[in-house]
């Protein structure tokens, strides 16, 4: 792991804690969010050694974090979205969005389109990962609940 | 029943204001009304409005609507409200008990306001570093983040429109970054703006929108999607306006 990657993991972690505080998350739920924020970029870095495509990594990380959020939401009794949102903050394609804007401003139409499509790809991968694991969690918890109260 | 029904509406309203998902609020309101003795409950909720009709077992029918104006995210409050609705369903709480508990949930613990200023600064700094900024860029980004939060406080009194407020915030961030470049402290504005965009970006709105869409709340989902897209455009516009003006003035 290079120094840049370590700095990214730590700053991503600090960023998610910052967002968690903005959302008025407290106590043990803050700890859970912090772990999620740390894990999301940590997993990203590890996966990026093996998988060349960023959107695919985004999808896998989003799936993983959503499952973590679904489980923790039941453990500490809080809405799932709480943990998904603040833990996935490091993956929000802010940089990509900025370069899309900057290229539109400079009139590089070709780069602008490339960047724009790439930003959308990242956002879609992120959303898809969340939706897939939410759906799976719903099915699993649905069957468990049905078994409990026949 | 009429009074108890109002409490169910209050709880639903407060949940929406603290950023709960629509289907979650619908479920909670239905459960509370059922627990309070309704025979039939019809709920229709979107992010900006709720309409609920209950049929009581003595044949009365009540309908209430609420218009929801503001929405932010307050997880602690949401937690308190969830706890309360669970209690109403399990135990037979009296009207007074519900009222005191509702007030307790609404006035839950909050971080002091200056924490928000610190958070904006820290988030902006952290993401400047994250996207490859140098130490000096991180420091400037911290200060710009703080200034962006100050500008939100100032303009919130004048402008209630959320989208326009994002436009102003981005404009302020871009302007300060351009000044820093002008003084030669940093080579270009890129990293500063990226860091500050992260606090403004509608990533959360978009994620919520898609979750709503795919859980079957199409209207709420569409409203949120449009809001997210407009916010992204407002951010781009804020950057554009200042970047164009900056080329002339600075």
pLDDT digits (tens, 9 = 90+) for B8-48: 899 999 998 888 888 888 989 999 998 888 889 999 998 88
Residues B226, B125, single domain; the answer is yes
User: What is the reported pTM?
Assistant: 0.86
**In chain B, what percentage of residues exceed pLDDT 90?**
21
Range of the domain at B65: 2-106
Residues B140, B243, single domain; the answer is yes
Question: CB contact, 8 Å: B127 with chain A?
Answer: yes
Six token digits for residue B229: 């897209």
Number of domains in chain B: 2
Nearest-CA neighbor of B202 among B223, B226, B221, B228? B228
What pLDDT digit, counting tens, does each position of A62-117 carry? 999 999 998 888 888 777 877 888 888 888 888 888 888 888 888 888 999 999 89
Tell me the residue length of chain B.
250
Backbone angles phi, psi at A21, to 5 degrees: -70, -40
What part of A 70-109 touches B (C-beta under 8 Å)? 77-79, 81-82, 84-85, 88-90, 92, 94-95, 97-99, 101-102, 104-105
Residues B146, B213, single domain; the answer is yes
Nearest-CA neighbor of B68 among B244, B231, B223, B247? B223
Residues B148, B96, single domain; the answer is no
Beta strands (DSSP E) in chain B are 38-46, 49-56, 61-67
pLDDT at B122: 92
Residues B188, B226, single domain; the answer is yes
Scan for tokens 């600090």, then name that residue: A14
Last residue of some domain: B85, B106, B127?
A: B106
d(CA A7, CA A10): 5
Six token digits for residue B184: 């030669």
Q: Looking at this predicted complex, what is its ipTM?
A: 0.87
Question: CB contact, 8 Å: B186 with chain A?
Answer: no
Residues B31, B96, single domain; the answer is yes
pLDDT at A13: 92
Last residue of some domain: B106, B129, B144?
A: B106
Tell me how far the alpha carbon of residue B219 is from its chain's centroid.
Answer: 18
The DSSP 8-state label assigned to residue A86 in this structure reads H
Residues B234, B206, single domain; the answer is yes
d(CA A102, CA B239): 9
d(CA B174, CA B53): 49
d(CA A83, CA A30): 9
Which residues of A are less than 8 Å from B120 in CB distance? 18, 22
Residues B148, B83, single domain; the answer is no
Residues B11, B76, single domain; the answer is yes
Question: Least CB-CB distance to B122: which of A14, A81, A98?
Answer: A14
Q: Render the burial of B46-58: b for 16+ CB within 10 Å, e for the rest.
A: bbeebebbbebee
Nearest C-alpha of chain A: how many angstroms from B61? Answer: 31
Q: Render the burial of B112-130: b for 16+ CB within 10 Å, e for the rest.
A: eeeebbbbbbbbbbbbbbb
Residues B67, B135, single domain; the answer is no
Question: Least CB-CB distance to A98: which of B19, B132, B190?
Answer: B190
Residues B125, B220, single domain; the answer is yes
Asked whether the beta carbons of A40 and A87 are under 8 A apart, the reply is: yes
Q: With bands split at pLDDT 50, 70 and 90, how would you rate the model's confidence at A44? A: very high
End-to-end CA distance of chain A: 51
Sign of CA dihedral B34, B39, B40, B46: negative
Last residue of some domain: B74, B106, B138?
A: B106
Asked whether the beta carbons of A101 and B236 are under 8 A apart, the reply is: yes
Nearest-CA neighbor of A9 among A48, A39, A34, A33? A39
Asked whether the beta carbons of B207 and A85 are under 8 A apart, the reply is: yes
Nearest-CA neighbor of B116 among B163, B168, B151? B151
Q: With bands split at pLDDT 50, 70 and 90, how would you rate the model's confidence at A150? A: very low
Residues B33, B62, single domain; the answer is yes
């Amino acid at each position: 792991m290079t120094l840049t990657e370590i700095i990214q993991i730590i700053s991503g972690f600090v960023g998610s804690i910052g967002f968690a505080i903005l959302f008025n998350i407290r106590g043990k739920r803050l700890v859970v969010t912090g772990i999620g924020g740390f894990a999301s970029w940590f997993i990203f870095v590890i996966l990026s050694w093996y998988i060349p495509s960023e959107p695919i990594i985004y999808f896998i990380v989003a799936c993983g974090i959503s499952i973590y959020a679904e489980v923790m939401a039941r453990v500490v009794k809080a809405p799932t979205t709480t943990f998904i949102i603040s833990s996935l903050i490091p993956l929000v394609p802010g940089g990509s969005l900025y370069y899309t804007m900057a290229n539109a401003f400079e009139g590089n139409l070709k780069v602008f389109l490339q960047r724009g499509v790439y930003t959308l790809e990242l956002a879609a991968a992120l959303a898809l990962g969340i939706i897939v694991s939410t759906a799976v969690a719903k099915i699993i918890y649905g069957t468990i609940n049905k078994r409990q109260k026949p | 029943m009429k009074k108890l029904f109002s409490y169910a509406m209050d709880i639903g309203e407060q949940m929406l204001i603290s950023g709960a998902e629509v289907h979650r609020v619908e479920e909670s309101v239905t459960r509370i009304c059922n627990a309070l003795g309704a025979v039939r409950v019809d709920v229709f909720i979107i992010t900006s409005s709720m309409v609920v009709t209950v049929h009581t077992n003595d044949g009365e029918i009540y309908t209430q609507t609420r218009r929801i104006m503001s929405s932010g995210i307050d997880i602690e409050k949401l937690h308190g409200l969830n706890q309360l609705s669970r209690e109403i369903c399990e135990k037979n709480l009296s009207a007074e008990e519900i009222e005191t508990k509702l007030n307790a949930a609404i006035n839950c613990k909050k971080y002091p306001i200056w924490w928000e200023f610190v958070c904006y600064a820290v988030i902006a700094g952290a993401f400047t570093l994250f996207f490859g900024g140098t130490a000096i860029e991180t420091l400037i980004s911290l200060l710009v983040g703080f200034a962006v939060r100050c500008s939100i406080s100032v303009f919130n009194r004048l402008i209630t429109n959320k989208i326009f407020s994002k436009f102003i915030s981005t404009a302020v961030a871009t302007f300060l970054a351009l000044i820093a470049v002008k003084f030669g402290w940093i080579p270009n504005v890129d990293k500063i703006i990226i860091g500050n965009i992260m606090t403004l970006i509608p990533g959360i709105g978009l994620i919520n929108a898609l979750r709503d869409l795919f859980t079957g709340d199409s209207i709420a989902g569409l409203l949120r999607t449009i809001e997210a897209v407009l916010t992204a455009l407002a951010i781009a516009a804020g950057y554009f306006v200042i970047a164009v003006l900056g080329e002339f003035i600075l």
